[in-house]
Amino acid sequence: MSGPILPGATLGVMGGGQLGRMFIHAAQRMGYFTAVLDPDAASPAGRVSHHHIVAAYLDAPGLGQLAETCDAITTEFENVPAPALARLAAYTTVSPAAASVAIAQDRAAEKAHFVACGVPCAPYAVLETPVQLAAIDEALLPGILKTSRMGYDGKGQVRVATYAELAQAWLDLKGVPCVLEKMLPLAAECSVIVARGADGQIVNLPIQRNLHREGILAVTEVYEENMPPAQVASALAAAKSIANGLDYVGVLCVEFFVLQDGSLVVNEIAPRPHNSGHYTIDACVTSQFEQQVRVVAGLPLGGTHQHVPAVMVNLLGDIWFAGSASDGEREPDWMQVLRHPQAKLHLYGKAHPRHGRKMGHVTCLAPTLDEALAMARAIKRDLGIGGADDL
């Protein structure tokens, strides 16, 4: 990139999901033209973009058309093939780089990077061969067996308590490369989103406290002092070390486990904006998606101040089936959200709800945390989302 790419140029994104859709909205609001490459002709991002190239991620003509159309390109999910990003980078600016995405796509490489950066992670072992299975240290049990590639939202993960369960779980996973992580006594989960420019400038958004259900993010709470200062400092230092170690250019989310003794261990990274950062659209000076636009275009990074406490509630496809079994699929009563003047409803434009599928989110904003939590509880109960009393 010889200089900043200013509004009026075209920015592209690999992937047409909701993260791509929100990137497209941010880019268009700033005056950019946009392009999406995604094989789904009805993809959420493709439906709102100026250009939608309907092609597989490794389709050479499709990649050529995207490169020819765009002044710079990014990605909206970590499983876009790294070779596709490398091919695009031969013709135009691409961030994050293929090498960074490749590390995030492989849990073994990811863990090795954490170790190299001096960032604590759970004790683990790589499992790729029967010889490695036989050599597993049983001190890692009970643990969680995770596929090295293509796992997300709790998929490709099996809890194992004994060596026999481990062996069977690996067999059930078809013997694909895996990582076994020791289960640790968890107190909470949190995440940090950083944006890093090609010049090395790096900023962080406020630390996010997260609640997961069945491996899928359910609620994010972000407010002043949501975590003890020592934990915040540790998480920020670790996230920046990981990003700097990758020479990363883009928006990066680093997820952490908070242990019962108060210490942090890094769980994984996502080389893109993240579900836990959606509140930034409504609550911060610069959303994670505008930061992504700024990085891709080589612009100065935006301010990260948060205006008010925020509680973000995920809307999964389950609530379309919240009635009795005989009711089948039905549209949720959105008036139960919209009656709250400070609730911000975001729906992702997905045509077909499924159980566990992320269909949208609601950000509850209020002058105080208690008011934001009360609003979130009410919305969860009214929409039939479980766990309202956990907030």
199-208 confidence digits (pLDDT tens): 999 999 999 9
pLDDT on residue 340: 98
Residues of the chain with pLDDT under 70: 1, 151-154, 323-327
- Second-level CATH architecture of 10-94: 3-Layer(aba) Sandwich (3.40)
DSSP code of residue 86: H
* Calculated CA dihedral for residues 382, 385, 390, 391, nearest 10 degrees: -60
Are 159 and 172 contacting, i.e. CB atoms less than 8 angstroms apart? no
- According to CATH, the topology of domain 123-182 is Dna Ligase; domain 1 (3.30.1490)
From CA 109, how far away is CA 349, in angstroms rounded? 34
- Of 337, 285, 283, 290, nearest to 310 by C-alpha is 283
Cis before residue 120, ω within 30 degrees of 0?
A: no
What does residue 365 show for φ and ψ, rounded to 5 degrees? -110, 140
pLDDT on residue 386: 84
Measured CA distances, 45 to 4, 74, 101, 252, 358 (Å)? 24, 13, 20, 20, 14
Reduced to 3 states (helix: H, G, I; strand: E, B; else coil), residue 166 is: helix
Are 162 and 141 contacting, i.e. CB atoms less than 8 angstroms apart? yes
Q: Provide the terminal-to-terminal Cα distance of the chain, rounded to the nearest Å.
A: 46
pLDDT on residue 324: 59
pLDDT on residue 98: 96
Reduced to 3 states (helix: H, G, I; strand: E, B; else coil), residue 169 is: helix
- Of 386, 391, 375, nearest to 338 by C-alpha is 375
Sheet holding 143-147, edge to edge: 124-127, 178-182, 143-147, 157-160
Helices marked H in the chain: 18-29, 60-69, 82-89, 98-104, 107-116, 130-134, 163-172, 229-245, 280-283, 288-296, 335-338, 369-383
Measured CA distances, 359 to 44, 362, 376 (Å)? 10, 11, 17
Residue 75: alpha-carbon gap to chain centroid = 12
What is the widest separation between alpha-carbon atoms in the chain? 60
pLDDT on residue 391: 81
pLDDT on residue 153: 59
The 10s digit of each residue's pLDDT in 200-232 is 999 999 999 999 998 899 999 999 999 999 999
Cβ neighbors of 17 (< 8 A, separation 6 or more) are 38, 43, 44, 45, 76, 77, 348
Token look-up 């002092």 returns 225
pLDDT on residue 156: 81
- According to CATH, the topology of domain 186-386 is D-amino Acid Aminotransferase; Chain A, domain 1 (3.30.470)
The 10s digit of each residue's pLDDT in 255-290 is 999 999 999 999 999 999 999 999 999 999 999 999
Amino acid at 238: A
Domain assignments of the chain as residue spans, ordered by start: 10-94, 123-182, 186-386
From CA 201, how far away is CA 258, in angstroms rounded? 27
From CA 178, how far away is CA 350, in angstroms rounded? 32
Q: Are strands 51-53 and 33-37 parallel, antiparallel or unpaired?
A: parallel
